[in-house]
């Protein structure tokens, strides 16, 4: 029988563009779910924020990613969207808004250098991340 677990977590950001490491929060939810093997779905219900998995052992990697994504999609480019945050929508489209991660032995099955990042592109804001964990 398949078992499901669902929780929403809050993420507060303090800069317009920033990555917040949410690996521990997600892993704690996996432990709370008591699901031994299955899948963890992580979803961001926002059009100007996304998710990614990348290295979290060396913070310079995140700085490099943020610098390059801001170079690729500058805030002050001419955009037709009147709200002034088109760059945020484009950056979110590049990152994506969902992740699927294996659950093994009641924990996330990710590489030893990997972490899950909430990607803020239109902050500062209070955001939500939806997490669903499903057993095999």
pTM beyond cutoff 0.85: yes
Sign (positive or negative) of CA dihedral 40, 42, 63, 65: positive
Average pLDDT over residues 15-19: 97
In a domain, 50, yes or no: yes
Structural domain that includes position 76: 8-33+46-95+111-127
132 occurs within a structural domain: no
Asked if pLDDT for residue 1 goes beyond 90, the answer is no
Residue 123 to residues 55, 87, 114, 127, 130, Cα–Cα distance (Å)? 22, 12, 24, 9, 19
Please determine, for residue 8, whether its predicted confidence score (pLDDT) is greater than 90. yes
For residue range 98-107, list pLDDT tens digits in order: 999 999 999 9
CATH of the domain at 13: 2.60.120.460
Domains identified in the chain, total number: 1
């Amino acid at each position: 029988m398949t078992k499901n677990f669902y929780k929403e977590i809050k993420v507060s950001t303090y800069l317009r563009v920033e990555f917040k490491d949410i690996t521990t929060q997600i892993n704690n939810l996996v432990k709370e779910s008591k699901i031994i093997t299955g899948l963890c779905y992580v979803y961001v219900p926002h059009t100007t924020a996304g998710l990614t998995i990348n290295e979290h052992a060396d913070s310079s990697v995140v700085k490099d990613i943020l610098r390059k994504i801001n170079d690729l999609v500058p805030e002050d480019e001419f955009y037709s969207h009147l709200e002034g945050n088109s760059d945020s929508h484009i950056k979110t489209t590049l990152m994506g808004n969902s992740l699927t991660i294996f659950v093994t032995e009641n924990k996330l099955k990710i590489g030893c250098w990997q972490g899950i990042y909430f990607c803020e592109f239109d902050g500062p804001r209070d955001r939500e991340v939806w997490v669903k964990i499903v057993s095999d």
